[in-house]
Amino acid sequence: MEGILPLRVLVAEDSPIVQHAMSELLKSADVLTVVRAMDGAEAVRLAADSGPDVAILDYDMPRTNVIETARAIRDRRPDLPLILITTTASEYLIATALAAGVAGFVLKRDVHEDLVRAIETVRCGSTFVSPSAARALYERYLPSARLA
């Protein structure tokens, strides 16, 4: 991630184990600071108050709807790139998240391979979808297509 440091990343994830693993992954990629939130309300507050450069939102946080959280963050910080992490890749979820202003979509099983690349991509103003999620969408909309 050379060239975009210092970088502050907000990680909104309710599982302390997953939160710690993502923090360690980000630190190994030379991310300067990781700010942690346990739910959507805290993520909205920290997005506004702690000045992150990127926010990573877990889809399955308690007492919150990640799409509403994304919209609330977008209202307060329209310039803040948002990345959604989740265990599933449905076309509805991806479309809804993108419509809510999420710029990146990473499957949890692909976090080690895709998260840093997703951060780099959304920081440059582009959209990132994990290749395995994109593949599922591709196969859904083009069922006769064969991917190698």
In a domain, residue 14? The reply is yes
**How many structural domains comprise the chain?**
1
In a domain, residue 148? The reply is no
In a domain, residue 59? The reply is yes
Residue 85 · residue 58 · CB < 8 Å = yes
In a domain, residue 3? The reply is no
In a domain, residue 76? The reply is yes
In a domain, residue 1? The reply is no
- On the 0-12 / 13-18 / 19+ scale of CB atoms within 10 A, 131 is middle
83: left (phi over 0), alpha (psi -120 to 50) or beta: beta
Bigger pLDDT: 147 or 51?
51
What would the pLDDT profile of 31-77 be if each residue is shown by its tens digit?
Answer: 767 888 999 999 999 999 998 999 999 998 877 889 999 999 999 99
Residue 131 · residue 105 · CB < 8 Å = no
Domain residues for the domain of 124 are: 8-141
pTM listed for this prediction = 0.86
| CATH assignment at residue 136 | 3.40.50.2300
